[in-house]
Amino acid sequence: MNKPHNLDTSELQAIDRKHHLHPFTDSKELNEQGTRVITRADGVYIWDSEGNKLLDGMAGLWCVNVGYGRKELAEVAYEQMLELPYYNSFFQCTTPPAIGLAEILAELAPDHINRVFFTGSGSESNDTVIRMVRRYWDLLGEPQKSVIISRKNAYHGSTMAGASLGGMKFMHEQGGLPIPGIVHIDQPYWYAEGGDQDPEEFGLNVAQQLEATILDMGLDRIGAFIAEPLQGAGGVIIPPDSYWPEIGRICDKYGILLIADEVICGFGRTGKWFGSDYFGIKPDFMPIAKGLSSGYLPIGGVMVSDRVADVLTDKCGEFAHGYTYSGHPAAAAVALKNLQILRDEHIIETVEKDTGPYLQKRWRELENHPLVGEARGVGLVGAIEIVKDKDKREFFPKEGTVGGVCRDACIRNGLVMRAVGDTMIISPPLIITKEQIDELIEKALKSLDETA
């Protein structure tokens, strides 16, 4: 076969149509319109095979935190692959990159978290967390504490367990999910679900569903509560200030393990290293992935608090769980270098003090557009709600249609912005400049005008 990059777009699309099944895609629709083939990237921009340049307002899939084209990351991958492309961390073995990465993660994580179990992705991290929670309670002689409480509209991955922890109905409908032992409470989505309540009162009420569920099901059955510090894929849903302190209080009161899924928030998205730092959460587990390597190679992990790790290590015997690619040396070397870049170039401080506040100020200006009911965000992540009537907080009847039109207008205007129903979301690379933020806002506004 010809090398794919020697082919023109229609030839590439024809092969793709014939042989490639895409994730989260309606294949029939895709086959009719053809795939966009992305061929290269630099900084905050990507190019397609037709030469169109797009500002990547989503950092790939929320992951390219240091931006595209960092030669140092390619170089460490190259050097590591020559030195030792693969070895596992099973059976009393490990490798220097896995050790170095574990060490820097312990330095960066909150003080009470000092150990990590490596995985290949965010979904694997959340599968791992379920096994760890259940193992922990088993070891403490309470194996019946196996139920994990999650939230409706949460996203925790695509494996059977990840999608079950997630609260996305359209995913549950395919494949008989959720698996047993997982229950979902409401999300703190004030704009869509808060009704007449004041946002803080709503945040408190929704958090208290955790307590009600614990009491209803019986404390002896509940092992943990899992949530993203802010819901990303669900539509960048930022909890009211009252929410997380109340969740923390309830977990403390009942001794429930708290899992903060940091797959999106981790590594600078909110202007802090972790979403837990931003919202003042004290988790027992932090699943991580994405920004850990800025997406340059696949790698994830579960960071574990001392109180849980001590039980898992001291009492556990063999933990019968692991992946061939746990601690993959090339991926770990890239992740380590990526974290050094984020730290040494003060990229997260810049998000916190400079580009984050600037984006948030400019992003709120979109609320002046007649279609935008709310513009919200923190750090370098944001959402706008496209609505039919902003005064009444009334959504369009067929959810997703207008969002799709806006997303397509963005692409025509050279901007990648994602549509979650009629919620438009952004999460650009953390190295975006103020000038590029201006460009993003200008393109978003033009696209909204074309959506109206």
In the complex, the residues that contact ligand PLP under the rule CB under 6 A are 61, 121-123, 126, 155-157, 228, 232-233, 261, 263-264, 289
Residue nearest to ligand PLP (CB): 122
What's the CA gap between 379 and 353, in Å, rounded? 9
Nearer to ligand PLP, 122 or 301 (CB): 122
Nearer to ligand PLP, 228 or 352 (CB): 228
- Helix then strand count (H, E) for the chain reads 18, 15
CB of 307 to ligand PLP, least distance (A): 23
Nearer to ligand PLP, 257 or 265 (CB): 265
CB of 113 to ligand PLP, least distance (A): 17
CB of 205 to ligand PLP, least distance (A): 24
CB of 404 to ligand PLP, least distance (A): 20
CB of 336 to ligand PLP, least distance (A): 19
280 is written with which tokens?
């003042």
Nearer to ligand PLP, 123 or 360 (CB): 123
Closest CA to 383 of 431, 352, 441, 427: 427
Nearer to ligand PLP, 214 or 238 (CB): 238
292 is written with which tokens?
């850990």
CB of 53 to ligand PLP, least distance (A): 25
Nearer to ligand PLP, 232 or 268 (CB): 232
DSSP string, 259-290: EE--TTTTTTTTSSSSHHHHHT---SEEEE-G
What's the CA gap between 30 and 17, in Å, rounded? 8
Helix (H) or strand (E) holding 32: helix 27-33
CB of 156 to ligand PLP, least distance (A): 5
CB of 300 to ligand PLP, least distance (A): 6
Nearer to ligand PLP, 287 or 329 (CB): 287
Nearer to ligand PLP, 121 or 360 (CB): 121
Task: Look at strands 147-151 and 372-378 and give their pairing.
Answer: unpaired
Q: How far is CA 42 from CA 52, 56, 59, 71, 433, in A?
A: 13, 10, 11, 11, 14
Distance of CA 331 to the CA centre of its chain: 19
What's the CA gap between 265 and 400, in Å, rounded? 25
Helix (H) or strand (E) holding 117: strand 113-119
CB atoms inside a 10 Å sphere around CB 435 = 8
